[in-house]
Amino acid sequence: MLCVWGALVTSTEFEAAADLLAETPGATTISSLEEPQGHVSLAVDTGDQEDGDLEENDQTQLLGGEKQPPNFWTFSYHQSFFDVDTHQVLERIKNSLLPVPSQNFVRHCLRHHPDLYGPFWICATLAFALAVSSNLATVLQNWKEASFSYSPQFHKVTVAGITIYCYAWLVPTALWGFLQWRKGVGECVGCYTFLEIVCVYGYSLFIYIPTVVLWLIPISGLQWFLGVLAVSLSGAVLLLTFWPLVRSDTRVVSAVLLTVMVALHALLAIGCKFYFFQSLPSRSIPVTQAPLHQVTPPGSSKTSAAS
């Protein structure tokens, strides 16, 4: 459907508008440079669903551009990272699951509006899902054995939480530092902000949640297939997001960087699979009964008196 909207954008927003135009090749644009201050007005045909979002974002950017950025120690500074609606979060999750070659996650979905809600709660859900699934998997494997005693294994929650949160924060930090260095050296075109990288990584972890739940099915081939599928889908989203940045770099550096990114992503999946879903050797028979014989020390007089 034809939807035409016109918006006055300042010259600093021209770049964002240009990016948008680059990604919607079917759009027709009317640009008029009559305003003396260099304002550009654009009329773009876009789809229905993007309308409200784009308008909102541009208006908030226009209005916010005049105010000073709030102090780090004020509440409103942190509130700006949670300024998302339900449908926006759902849309970002959907785009992290399905890599589309023409859509860059950061440019298309985030549009200079990264949020911390998604990464934080996706990591929390993944940590608890890992612990719960791991516990259930242990039960499902061993419940038929007579001497199996169930234990909740609550320490796995701690391990899972630390692992997931470290991955979701340290790897983006390292990546951001590396890209800034390349930009400083002059090889890279530009860099995403730190929060945008954290956002991409956070949303890319979403696919592991259903994967971890489906890993309960004890068929080994299916588990490996699901793992490979999850890593390839989210790895593809990460690759497509960072390819425009490193494209202009030397071939060696860009190849190494992208390989390391995907390798870390796969390593997380494999590590979780092996630590949390280890098929345990049956530790049924000797453990519970042998110590009873070993507990009584050989030279003790008390036990001999008791027996």
- Residues making up the chain, counted from first to last: 307
CB closer to another protein out of 72 and 75 = 75
Query: Residue with structure tokens 């390819």?
Result: 243
Interface size with another protein, residues (CB under 8 A): 25
Q: From the list 14, 45, 61, 81, which residue makes contact with another protein (rule: CB under 8 A)?
A: 81
Instruction: Choose which of 29, 56, 65, 82 interacts with another protein (CB under 8 A).
Output: 82
Residue from 8, 47, 87, 256 that binds another protein (CB under 8 A)? 87
Which range in 78-86, 101-109, 206-214, 222-230 contacts another protein by CB under 8 A?
A: 78-86
User: Binding of another protein at residue 85 (CB under 8 A)?
Assistant: yes
CB of 120 to another protein, least distance (A): 8
Is residue 164 packed enough to be buried (19+ CB in 10 Å), middle (13-18) or exposed (0-12)? buried
By CB under 8 A, what part of segment 102-161 binds another protein? 117, 121, 124-125, 128, 132, 135, 149-155
Interaction of residue 165 with another protein, rule CB under 8 A: no
107 to 85, 95, 182: CA distances (angstroms): 18, 12, 20
Asked if 94 touches another protein (CB under 8 A), the answer is no
Name the one residue in this structure whose structure tokens are 């849309």.
Answer: 91
Q: CB of 116: closest distance to another protein in angstroms?
A: 9
Report H helices in the chain: 14-23, 48-66, 75-79, 86-97, 117-142, 155-185, 194-204, 208-214, 220-246, 251-276, 285-295, 301-306
DSSP letter string over 246-275? HTTS-HHHHHHHHHHHHHHHHHHHHHHHHH
Cα separation, 229 vs 98, in Å, equals 12
Q: Which is nearer to another protein, 27 or 84 (CB)?
A: 84
- Nearer of residues 147 and 173 to another protein, judged by Cβ: 147
Is the separation of the CB atoms in 279 and 141 below 8 Å? yes
Which residue do the tokens 């995403």 mark? 192
- Cβ nearer to another protein, comparing 116 with 264: 116
Nearest to another protein of 221, 286 (CB atom): 286
Q: What residues are paired with 40 via a beta bridge?
A: 9
Residue 79 makes contact with another protein by CB under 8 A: yes
275 scored as a contact of another protein (CB under 8 A): no
162 scored as a contact of another protein (CB under 8 A) = no
Binding site for another protein (CB under 8 A): 75, 78-79, 81-87, 89, 117, 121, 124-125, 128, 132, 135, 149-155
